Amino acid sequence: MPTAADPAAQRMSVEDSYLELLTDTLESLDVSTRGQFLTRYLHAVAHLDLSEGQCLEVWTQINQRRTQLAEKLGRFVSVKTALMDVLSAGGLLRVPILIEYEELKRIQINAATDPLTGLHNRRLFEESCQRELNGARRYGHQLALIALDLHRFKEVNDKHGHPRGDDVLRAAAATLRNSLRTSDSAFRIGGDEFALLLPQTDAQQAMALSRRVAAIFEEALKPLNLGIVVGMDHGLAVYPQDGETAEVLVRVADERLYRLKHANRAWTSNGAAPPAESPPPRPPAGPVLFRPPQSGQPGQGVAPQRVAAQQAAPPAAASPAPAPTVPQAPTYTQQRKAERVSMAGTNAYALLGDSGDRRAKVLDIGFGGVGLELGPQDAISGPVLSVLHVPILPPVRVTLNPVWSKRSDVGTLRVGCCFVS
């Protein structure tokens, strides 16, 4: 082994230094212990299944070969060099390909990752979709698949060039990453097309996520000053309601996505939205296509799933026909960017206060606030730090400011809160 004063020793890597220490340690061990260690060591580094005697013989050859190479070359020779020379010459390497571990990990990541956005690629999407579907089938869970692409993305490339188009794609990827739970997955499956896999998620929850993603994406694009309203079109399919195989779910989501894109071709060249209409008809059990409402668009305040539920609900037999009503002006001064989503039937809750010792049930949630239900003796008197636990989202730390409250018939207190920046 080189001395500390030897320049070669000073240039050794950490791994070479470790092997030098290993070599000195092996020399101090008895033959039996040395053979047992070398059996495991050679199996780990070269996948060799040799007896203790064979391993001891190989190790002797490695040390001899190392001495020969050092004398011939006139410089320090590492244990790794001699090891590979002996194993190669003896025909003991089954697959003579050498690669650093970090390089191997980099290749594995690149094989499953889109280089521009950092999202998973189409190959991993196909594998993940089948894996998640198998898990949903095994445990009786729902699985939501959302197909997305960017509306008017080609106009960005034509007007600003592909580098700015790449910025839009990266903004879309960042929006998706920041909007998902750790159990969810986002993929770029080609061009401006993306996909989301949402385990244990029903149609209503997936729609809520789609609206939130579209609203966040709209904000993320503002610093780019594109002069073009780029949005996200969505198509949704849910296992098992819309299909029981990956092929069927992908086809249903794509059909709904492109049906929506066809409807959105009515947009004018300056980005104006088409006249507000009811969502396209659909069977009550399946999700619908929709375009998330944009700021300033009238008539977009009713969620598609609620419209469908109203259309599907049979009239009460004894209820008289409702009298005509005069449309009322909205009670809020700024139109919501996303409809409030009911949390009925879920275990959504909020932990209130710095210590989180107060718990409130989450009734519904929207883009700008949340509705809570507190116990008969509880109340919120001012802004309070809270942690929200709701479907789709990871736990979110927010500050809530109460804006209205109402005592229910059973004595609980219902409080509407807005999010405080």
Residue-wise DSSP of 181-203: -TT-EEEEEETTEEEEEEET--H
Average pLDDT, the chain: 78
What mean pLDDT is predicted for residues 252-260?
Answer: 90
- Return all residues near 116 (Cβ < 8 A) that are at least 6 apart: 166, 169, 170, 188
Q: In the structure encoding, which two tokens stand for residue 35, read together?
A: 């053979």
**Tell me, what's the pLDDT at 173?**
95
Domain ranges in the chain are 7-89, 114-265, 341-420
Calpha distance 392→196 (Å, rounded): 12
Closest listed residue to residue 146, CA positions, set 89, 210, 212, 230? 210
Provide the 8-state DSSP code for 29. Answer: S
Q: Helix 101-112 and helix 122-139: axis angle, to 10°?
A: 80
Binned at pLDDT 50, 70 and 90, residue 15 comes out as low
Highest mean pLDDT among 76-85, 238-247, 351-360, 389-398: 238-247
The fold of the 114-265 domain, in CATH, is: Alpha-Beta Plaits (3.30.70)
CA dihedral 330, 333, 334, 336 (to 10 degrees): -40
pLDDT at 165 > cutoff 90: yes
pLDDT at 276 > cutoff 60: no
Closest listed residue to residue 362, CA positions, set 400, 327, 333? 400
Q: What is the C-alpha R_g of the chain?
A: 31
Binned at pLDDT 50, 70 and 90, residue 333 comes out as very low
Calpha distance 272→179 (Å, rounded): 27
For 79, the 3-state DSSP assignment is helix
Q: Are 184 and 266 in contact (CB under 8 A)?
A: no
Distances (CA, A) of 281 to 243, 321, 386: 19, 24, 39
Q: Which residues of 252-283 are buried (b: 16+ CB within 10 A; e: fewer)?
A: bbbebbeebeebbeebeeebebeeeeebeebe
Q: What percent of the chain has pLDDT over 90?
A: 35
Question: Which amino acid, 293?
Answer: P
Highest mean pLDDT among 98-102, 223-227, 326-330, 345-349: 223-227
Q: If residue 276 lies in a helix (H) or strand (E), which one and from where to where?
A: none
Q: What is the pTM of this model?
A: 0.47
Calpha distance 53→61 (Å, rounded): 13
Q: Are 50 and 39 in contact (CB under 8 A)?
A: yes
341-420 CATH pick, 2.40.10.220, 2.60.40.10, 1.10.3730.10, 3.30.470.10: 2.40.10.220
Q: Are 210 and 288 in contact (CB under 8 A)?
A: no
